[in-house]
Structure 1
Amino acid sequence: MRFVEAVKQRAGKFLLERTMRDGIDLRKMRFLPSSVTMPLKRDGLDPLPEMAAIRATEPVTKLATLFGKNIWLVSGYDEARAALADGTSYSNDIGQFVSQEGRSDEDQIGGLGMTDPPLHTALRRYLTPEFTMRRLARLEPEIERVVHERLDAMEAAGPHVDLVKEFAFPVPFQVICELLGLPVEDRERFFELGVARFDLSQGGVGAFGAAAHTRDFLIKAVAAQRAEPGDGLIGGLLKEHGDELDDLTLGGIADGVFLGGYETSASMLSLGAYLLAENPDAMAMLRDDSAGREHVDRIVEELLRHLTVVQLAFLRFAKVDLELGGKQISAGDAVGISLLGANRDPAVAGADPDTFDPHRPPTRHLAFGHGMHRCVGAELARMELRIALRALATRFPDLAVTAPRDTLDFRKLSAVYGVEALPVDLHGAGDRVPAGR
C-alpha cells in the first residue's frame, strides 16, 4: 500500500480539532466536574493541589473525560516514563477514542504523536534528517536575526508592550516559516491563519475553520514548490521524497510541524519571560558570559520542566492487558499521561519540585515526551529558547511584568498552556508588581 493511502486510512488528527468538530464548546469547559478538567487546570503556573495529592497516593488513577469514557491518568514520574517508553503495549491511534465519521482525507492527516508504526516509522524517517544539529545550525543565524528584530521593534514601541503579541508569538512563527521554507510574501496571511487557529474565544468554531485554511495554505505551498523546491523542510522533502509524497500528504506533514513548533514555543517564551522577570537572579545568570552556555542551558531546562506547557501527552490505548503503577489496565483502555504532573514529581525534580530554581541540577524531565514519540523538534525548541531568552535578558535587564499574576488571562483547559497577554515595562524593574498566586 502506498504511503499516502496509509496516511489517509490510519493517521489521526489533532485532539483539539476533533473536540471542536464533535460539538464541544470550549467556553463551557470551566463548568465541567473537576474530575474531568483537573489534568488541564492550573493555579497560575502550578498544577492544582489535587494533582500532587493524587500523584502521592495513586499515581495511576481512573478519571472521567469529555467524551463519556474513562481514562487512566498517569501523574507519577516513574509510571509516566515507563508508559512513554513502551512502544509495543500501547497504541497512539486517536481514532479509537473519537469517531471518524464524516472526516475527510485532509482531516485525517495528523502528526507523529497520533500514529503507530509502520506509519509513525515512515513519518519519523522523513522528518528526522530535517532536525539534525547540522541542519538546525543553519537556522541559528536566522533565529538570532528574528529575535533582535523583534527586540528592536519592542524598544521602539515601548516601554509598555504586550510581550506575547510583540515577541513570544512572532519569533517562533518566523522561525517555523524559515524552517518550512515559506516565501516571505506569503507569511503575513499565514500568520493571520496561525493566530486564528489558536483562538478559542468562540468555542473553537473559528479555530477549526482556520485549521482547515492553514492546511490548505500549506498544501498549496507544497504544490508551488514541486517544480522548483526551495531550501526549507518542504523543499528538502520534495527533493528527497517527492516521488512518494503527494501534495496532500506533504502538506499534512508540514502542518504537523507547524502545530508542534509554533504554539508550544510561543507559550514557553511568554511564560518563561514571566518567570525570569520575577527572578532577577536568573536574568543575571542568563547575561553572565563567564560560564559559557552552562547557565543558559540549565535555566532553559528548568523552565521546560517547571512550565511543561504541553500538559498531557497524546492519548494512548492499551493493546493488551497490562499493569502500570499497581493498577490493572485492560486492553482498549485509554491512558492519559500528565507531563506536568510527572515533571513536578520529587522523584525527578528533588526537593521543592513546585519551585522554579535556576540552580537546580539537570533533570530527566519529560517536557518533550519520551520514547519513540519524543518531540522531533526538541533541539530546535531549545535553541529558540536559549537565543531568545538570553537576548531578552541582555537587552532589557530591568524587564518587569506590570500586572499581578491573578489578573493575567491564563488559558482555560488548553492542551498547550499559556497566557493570552503579558503586559510588561521594558525598563521598569523598580515598579515590579508582586507575582501573587
Structure 2
Amino acid sequence: MTRYADVRALLGDPRLSCDPSRPGYPAFRPDQPPPARGYLPSMDAPEHTALRRIVMRSALVTDVERMRPAIERHTDELLDELALLPQPVDLVERFSLALPVRVICELFGVPLHDRAVFEECAAVIASRSASGAQVADAYASLTGYLGRLVQAKDDEPGDDLLSQLVAQHVRTGHITREQVVGLGLPLLTGGHATTAHQITLAVTALLRHPDQRAALLAAEPESVPRAVDELLRHLTVVHFGLRRVATADLTVGRTVIRAGDGVVLALQSANRDPEIFPDPDRLDLTRTTGATRGTRAHVAFGYGAHRCPGQALAHAELEIALPALLRRLPGLRLAVPFDHIAFDEDSLLHGVRELPVTWQRHAPGGAEQNRNRR
C-alpha cells in the first residue's frame, strides 16, 4: 500500500497482525528467524498493549525534555572533536552515528566501549544480503549481551532506563527479565541506526538546498520542530515497508484484502502523497500543508498502536544536532560530487555509508561564539 489514507487506515486496523509466525506474513527473507520473546514490533494486542504501556511510561518517552542537556553536551563534545580533525571528514562516523550511539548508551546505561556489540548486530539485522542464520546469530549475540546487562542492573541499579524497568517492573513481577530484553532489542538497535541515517540524509539535503539550509539557521526555536518534521517526511528512513498479515477480510479504498494476505505498507510513498502534501517532492521547511490541528501528519514514525515509542527522543536529537552542526561548521559543504556519495544499497534502511564534508576553519574563539548562539 502506498497511498497516505490507506497506509494510515491499515496501520490503525487491529485486523492486521504484526506476528511473523502467522501464515501469509510477508517476511523480509524466506529464512527470517523468529523474534525474541517480548520483541515489541512483532507483537499484537493484548500482550503488545500491556508491554507498550510500560515503555510509554518510561524515561524514553516521559523524560525527553530532561535529556536535552545531555544531547546538547554530546553534540558539543563531538563538534569540538570534529572541528579539530584534518579535512575532509566522514560525517557519518564522526557525528551522525556517534551522537545517537552516545545518547542511547547514556539512556540505557550501556558502557560506550560496548557500542560495537549493538552497532555490528544492528547492521547485520538490517542487511538485505544477510542470511537468516546470520540474522539469528546477531539476535542471539545481542540477546545474550542485553541479558547480562539486565542482570548487572538488577545487581547494581543505576540512573538509566534498564535499571528503571528492572526496579519498577521486573522486581514487582509485572514483566520478566526476558521481556525486558525483548523490549530493549528494538530500542537499542533502532534507537541509534534510524536517527544516524536521518541526520546524514538531512545534512545532505540541506547542503543541496542552500535556501532551506538558510531557513533552518534563521528559524526561531519554536519553528525548528516543524522543520524537522518536513525533513522526516521528505527523507523517510524506513524504506522496507511495515509488514502485516490480515487476520480477517477487510476493504481499504477499492482494495479487498483477504484473511491470510500479506500487506506491505510503504511509509516513504505515503509521505509523498500529493493529495496530502502538495508538490510532495519539494523540500520546504516552512511547510504547513498536511498538518491537522497542529499534529504531525507524516508517518515517518509509523502510526497507531505501533508508532515508534522513541520518536520524541529522535526528534529532540535532530532539533539539537542539525542547527548546531551548521552553526559550528560555517561553509559546510560536500567534499565529493553528490553522484559520488555512497548510499547504503544493502540496508533495509535508507541511508548513506560515508559523507565526506569540509568547511571553513574558525578564527580563534569562533567555535565558542558559535556554540553560545544556540
SS at 2:349 equivalent: coil
Structure 2: segments with no counterpart, 5+ residues: 291-296, 362-374
* Residue 399 (structure 1) aligned to one of 312, 324, 332: 332
- Aligned partners of 2:179, 2:73: CA distance in 1, in Å? 32
How many residues are treated as equivalent by the alignment?
346
Residue equivalent to 1:84: 11
- Aligned partners of 2:169, 2:87: CA distance in 1, in Å? 48
What are the residue-to-residue correspondences of 1:20-99 with 2, within 5 Å? Answer: 74-86=1-13, 88-96=14-22, 97=25
* Contact 2:33/2:136, CA 8 A, preserved across alignment: no
Residue equivalent to 1:292: 221
Residue equivalent to 1:326: 254
Residue equivalent to 1:8: none
* Contact 2:150/2:162, CA 8 A, preserved across alignment: yes
* Residue 302 (structure 1) aligned to one of 214, 230, 239: 230
- Aligned partners of 1:394, 1:80: CA distance in 2, in Å? 37
* Contact 1:110/1:256, CA 8 A, preserved across alignment: no
Q: Which amino acid aligns with 1:75?
A: T
SS at 1:347 equivalent: coil
For residues 261-283 of structure 1, give each alpha carbon's deviation from its aligned partner in whole angstroms, at most 9, with x where no partner exists. Answer: 11100100111111112222222
TM superposition outliers: structure 1 runs of 4+ over 3 Å: 98-104, 131-134, 199-203, 205-211
Asked if 1:190 is matched to 2:118, the reply is: no
* Residue 388 (structure 1) aligned to one of 301, 306, 321: 321
- Aligned partners of 2:266, 2:33: CA distance in 1, in Å? 28
- Aligned partners of 1:362, 1:175: CA distance in 2, in Å? 32
Q: Which amino acid aligns with 2:165?
A: L
* Contact 1:113/1:314, CA 8 A, preserved across alignment: no
- What is the CA-CA distance between 1:109 and the residue it aligns to? 2.8
* Contact 2:206/2:212, CA 8 A, preserved across alignment: yes
- What is the CA-CA distance between 1:228 and the residue it aligns to? 2.6
- Aligned partners of 2:334, 2:2: CA distance in 1, in Å? 31
SS at 1:237 equivalent: helix
For residues 212-268 of structure 1, give each alpha carbon's deviation from its aligned partner in whole angstroms, at most 9, with x where no partner exists. Answer: 322211111100110232111101111111233333221221112112311100100
* Residue 343 (structure 2) aligned to one of 407, 410, 435: 410
Residue equivalent to 1:368: 301
* Contact 2:41/2:186, CA 8 A, preserved across alignment: no
- Aligned partners of 1:421, 1:358: CA distance in 2, in Å? 25
Residue equivalent to 1:311: 239
- Aligned partners of 1:402, 1:385: CA distance in 2, in Å? 23
Residue equivalent to 2:190: 260
SS at 1:354 equivalent: coil
- Aligned partners of 2:284, 2:119: CA distance in 1, in Å? 33
* Residue 274 (structure 2) aligned to one of 335, 338, 346: 346
Question: TM-score w.r.t. structure 1 length?
Answer: 0.74
- What is the CA-CA distance between 1:293 and the residue it aligns to? 2.4
For residues 91-144 of structure 1, give each alpha carbon's deviation from its aligned partner in whole angstroms, at most 9, with x where no partner exists. Answer: 11112235999968xx53353221101111121011001257651122111101
- Aligned partners of 1:250, 1:395: CA distance in 2, in Å? 39
Residue equivalent to 2:365: none
SS at 2:281 equivalent: coil
- Aligned partners of 1:152, 1:360: CA distance in 2, in Å? 33
* Contact 1:302/1:362, CA 8 A, preserved across alignment: no
* Residues 1:134 and 1:319: Cα distance change in structure 2 (over 3 Å): closer
* Residues 1:159 and 1:95: Cα distance change in structure 2 (over 3 Å): same
* Residues 1:170 and 1:211: Cα distance change in structure 2 (over 3 Å): farther
Question: TM-score w.r.t. structure 2 length?
Answer: 0.85
SS at 1:173 equivalent: helix
SS at 2:156 equivalent: coil
- Aligned partners of 1:208, 1:401: CA distance in 2, in Å? 38
* Residue 154 (structure 1) aligned to one of 74, 79, 82: 82
* Residues 1:231 and 1:158: Cα distance change in structure 2 (over 3 Å): same
- Aligned partners of 1:279, 1:142: CA distance in 2, in Å? 30
Residue equivalent to 1:69: none
- Aligned partners of 1:293, 1:278: CA distance in 2, in Å? 24
Structure 1: segments with no counterpart, 5+ residues: 1-73, 429-437
* Residues 1:168 and 1:195: Cα distance change in structure 2 (over 3 Å): farther
* Residue 216 (structure 1) aligned to one of 144, 155, 161: 144
* Residue 127 (structure 1) aligned to one of 27, 30, 55: 55
* Residues 1:208 and 1:250: Cα distance change in structure 2 (over 3 Å): same
- What is the CA-CA distance between 1:196 and the residue it aligns to? 5.1
Residue equivalent to 2:369: none
Sequence identity percentage: 36
* Contact 1:298/1:362, CA 8 A, preserved across alignment: no
SS at 1:310 equivalent: coil
- Aligned partners of 1:281, 1:319: CA distance in 2, in Å? 48
RMSD: 2.4
- Aligned partners of 1:202, 1:157: CA distance in 2, in Å? 33
Q: Which amino acid aligns with 1:288?
A: A
SS at 1:166 equivalent: helix
* Contact 1:131/1:377, CA 8 A, preserved across alignment: no
* Contact 2:38/2:179, CA 8 A, preserved across alignment: no
- What is the CA-CA distance between 1:421 and the residue it aligns to? 0.5
- Aligned partners of 1:362, 1:231: CA distance in 2, in Å? 41
Residue equivalent to 2:177: 247
* Residues 1:234 and 1:100: Cα distance change in structure 2 (over 3 Å): farther
* Contact 1:219/1:248, CA 8 A, preserved across alignment: yes
SS at 2:353 equivalent: coil
* Contact 2:117/2:142, CA 8 A, preserved across alignment: no
